[in-house]
Amino acid sequence: MGVPVLHKFQSELKASVYQGWNQGARNIVMQLATGGGKTVTLSAIVREHEGFSCVIAHRQELISQLSTTLARYGIRHRIVGTDSLRREISRNHVAELGQSFVDQTARVIVASVDSLIRADVSEWAHLVTLWVTDEGHHVVLGNKWHRALELFTNQSLIGLLPTATPIRADKQGLGRPALGGSGVADLMVEGPAMRWLINNNFLSDYRMVCPTGDLQILGDVGASGDWSSQQLKEAAKRSHIVGDLVKGYLTFGQGLLGVTFCTDVETAMETARAYRAVGVRAECLTGKTDDTTRRHMLRRFANRELDQLVAVDIISEGFDLPLIECLSMGRPTMSYSLFAQQFGRALRVAEGKGKALIIDHVGNIMRHEGPPDKPRFFTLANQDRRAKSKDDTIPYRRCVECLTPYEASLGTCPVCGHVPPVMSRDAPAAVEGVLEEMSEELLERLRTNVAVMDRTAGEVRGSHYAAGWSQAVSNAQMRNHLNNQEAQHQLRAAMSIWAGPYRAAGYDNARLQRAFFHLFGLSTLEAQALSAKDANALMERIGRHRHAII
């Protein structure tokens, strides 16, 4: 049996992990986009580790997937779980590889987090020198994942936290408190961006549509940073989401192998029935679906004997089903991690598969200001849950003609060419800061303000003299004017530097001006007339901005 060979980018990511450990970091977040091969990369690391290691996952089906990947590497490992789970995993090994790699005496251990906490691990926990938590964004101090890690006490212990999305809905950072976070990580290493993986055929490309819907959630998000199950269920009951999901699939994706994510089990079951009522072969997959039924269901899906799998969250995270061609979102979420995980289910590469179709009925693409292949910036530090910075991301709008979401810096829909109508030209906000769209009266007013800011010292002195100001008042006003001009000089230099990468990416003047307006809330002409205080504040925001250009 040949050992799987890592792609170059996976080998480089693995090398970055080793470098971090060698330089003194104990626990490392390994970020790699959904579908980029986190499991094979972590398996290669486990295979090369000389001591005991424990790989921890969230749910039973993820344990089975992890176990199978380890088996492909020829890694014998024990399973912390029920006898029936071990037998099922062994059968999977034999079916694919001709032998079972489950060995309850092996130095590699695979466990679900709940099984690990409940199990008696006193025999081997102190021997573990490497732990790996699949979907490492779950680990913060005091939660069950952290309690599981506290079982390991070896002085040589190191840790790995692979994840596609090192960001949590509750805004807790994965770094140690010393790094401003609420977790255990000392360092984060990042793999290539999702768009790079798509462009280089490691992931499938996609197209998106965002039909309108009436699902509205009452109440704020809870401590988790997302809406509760009860809020989601009640919102679904008040809406027409079931009919919308079916209509959306029939309109845009009929004939494609699809997965539909719903808010709750009751809605998922109703949606599956509604699919079947119009001739779409659909089954409902939940956390309570027994293993035999689940395997049979997935086999039927793979054989195209089913058109739709309707789920809640059971196949959101870590679930690998490359045949998915159409993804219907019927579950709104404030969690970027959940959004990106669900979106990524449709991006696995499969033979004969074209562009995946994403049908978003609940505004998740808008809510998270673009798809997950839009560049994102991750940090190990906690984030302010109350603040919503606009400095780093340009929002998305939805085309009213073809329902495609696209970046608001674009003046026309990139799919159908529709141009959003301009209702007024008398305010910068009405034209999204684009100078050529402004009325002559507005342009004249804004340019006059800039001209006042740019007056020479002689012109200012002359205006003071004509107004009859005293020397003392004139001097004070002159100092204020020169202070404003100095701040403007620095601000305009910062704006020019900020614009450079956008121009290099092909942004024309209009798109650049829209981008500036959506990021910073004012037009470029308004910015050039700001007083020193406001100019310095804007310059600070521009300095914090990290370009997110696809």
> Which tens digit of pLDDT belongs to each residue from 164-215?
999 998 999 999 999 999 999 999 999 999 999 999 999 999 999 999 999 9
Contact 512, 502 (CB under 8 A): yes
Alpha helices, DSSP H only, in 303-354?
336-344
Q: What is the pLDDT of residue 90?
A: 93
State in Å, rounded, how far the first CA of the chain is from the last one: 40
Contact 41, 28 (CB under 8 A): no
- C-alpha closest to that of 333 among 342, 324, 322: 342
Q: What is the pLDDT of residue 318?
A: 45
Q: What is the pLDDT of residue 390?
A: 47
474 token code pair:
């004139």
Q: What is the pLDDT of residue 59?
A: 74
417 token code pair:
């060419």
Q: Is 467 helix (H, G, I), strand (E, B) or coil?
A: helix
Distance CA 165, CA 340 (A): 8
SS (H, E, C) 9-39: HHHHHHHHHHHHHHCCCCEEEEECCCCCCHH
Distance CA 148, CA 158 (A): 14
pLDDT in tens, 363-422: 999 999 999 998 888 999 998 765 554 456 889 999 999 999 999 999 999 999 999 999
pLDDT in tens, 104-144: 999 999 999 999 999 999 999 999 999 999 999 999 999 99
pTM reported for the whole predicted model:
0.87
- C-alpha closest to that of 9 among 130, 190, 157, 172: 190
Beta strands in 485-541 (DSSP E): none
Contact 308, 279 (CB under 8 A): no
CB contact burial 240-257 (16+ within 10 A = b; e otherwise) = ebbebbbebbeebbeebb
Classify the C-alpha dihedral 440-442-446-448 as positive or negative.
Answer: positive
Classify strands 258-261 and 396-398 as parallel, antiparallel or unpaired.
Answer: unpaired
SS (H, E, C) 357-397: EEEECCCHHHHCCCCCCCCCCCCCCCCCCCCCCCCCCCCEE
**What is each CA distance from 81 to 74, 153, 249, 290, in whole angstroms?**
21, 22, 39, 16
Distance CA 152, CA 173 (A): 22
pLDDT in tens, 282-307: 999 887 787 778 878 888 998 999 99
pLDDT in tens, 312-335: 876 644 456 788 999 999 999 999
Distance CA 164, CA 531 (A): 43
pLDDT in tens, 467-521: 889 898 889 999 999 999 999 999 999 999 999 999 998 999 999 999 999 999 9
- Domains of the chain, earliest start first: 8-193 (3.40.50.300), 197-372 (3.40.50.300), 428-544 (no CATH)
Distance CA 54, CA 43 (A): 11
